Amino acid sequence: MWWLIAAVGLGIPLVVTAMPEFGMFAVGAVAGAVTAGLGGGTVLQVLVFVAVSVALIAVVRPLANRHRNQSPQLASGIDALKGKSATVLERVDGGVGGRIKLAGEVWSARALDAGQVYEPGQQVDVVEIEGATAVVI
C-alpha cells in the first residue's frame, strides 16, 4: 500500500512541474508495489524500485531529449510557402513589385534581384515571405 501512496505522491509533482523524472520514479514505485503484491520482501521491493527507476531514466530521458531537440518535420503557415512555385499574374520586379498566384491565392511579390523582371505567365520560386509580400526568383 505504501508503494502506491508513493506513486501518487510522485505523480503530483509530475503534473505540477512537468518534470518527467517524477513519472519515472512513480512507475518504479508501482513496480515496487507489484513486487510487494507478489510476496517480495522489503529489500527486493526497494531493489525493484531503484532498478526500474534508474532504467527508465537511463533509457527514456535521452530519447525524450532527442525528440525535444528535433525541429518539426511538417512546415506550416508561411514556412510551408518557401520554395513553392508560383505563376506571375502582374509584372514583378525588384522595385514596385507585382502580383503572383501562390498556393491558389494572389500575393504581392517582388524580385529578389532588384534588376530582374518577371512577366505574366512565367513561373517563379518563392524564397522568402516578408510580411504580405513574397520574394521570388
Domain boundary, last residue among 69, 94, 117: 69
Residue 72 has what pLDDT?
67
CA–CA dist 137, 128 (Å, integer): 10
Q: How confident is the model at residue 114 (pLDDT cuts 50, 70, 90)?
A: confident
Structural domain for 118, as ranges: 78-136
Q: What is the DSSP string of the chain?
A: -HHHHHHHHHHHHHHHH--HHHHHHHHHHHHHHHHHHTT--HHHHHHHHHHHHHHHHHHHHHHHHHHHHSPPSS--GGGGTTT-EEEEEE-EESSS-EEEEETTEEEEEEESSTT-EE-TT-EEEEEEEETTEEEE-
Residue 87 has what pLDDT?
96
Residue 80 has what pLDDT?
87
82 and 58 inside one domain: no
1 and 30 inside one domain: yes
65 and 93 inside one domain: no
87 and 24 inside one domain: no
87 and 112 inside one domain: yes
58 and 87 inside one domain: no
Q: How many domains does the chain have?
A: 2
101 and 62 inside one domain: no
Domain boundary, last residue among 12, 37, 69: 69
Residue 130 is part of a domain; what is its CATH number?
Answer: 2.40.50.140
pLDDT 10s digits, 37-69: 999 999 999 999 999 999 999 998 888 888 887
60 and 109 inside one domain: no
95 and 42 inside one domain: no
22 and 52 inside one domain: yes
Domain boundary, last residue among 36, 69, 102: 69
pLDDT 10s digits, 4-34: 889 889 888 877 887 888 889 999 999 999 9
pTM tops 0.85:
no
The residues with which 90 forms a beta bridge, in sequence order, are 99
pLDDT 10s digits, 77-110: 888 899 999 999 999 998 888 999 998 999 999 9
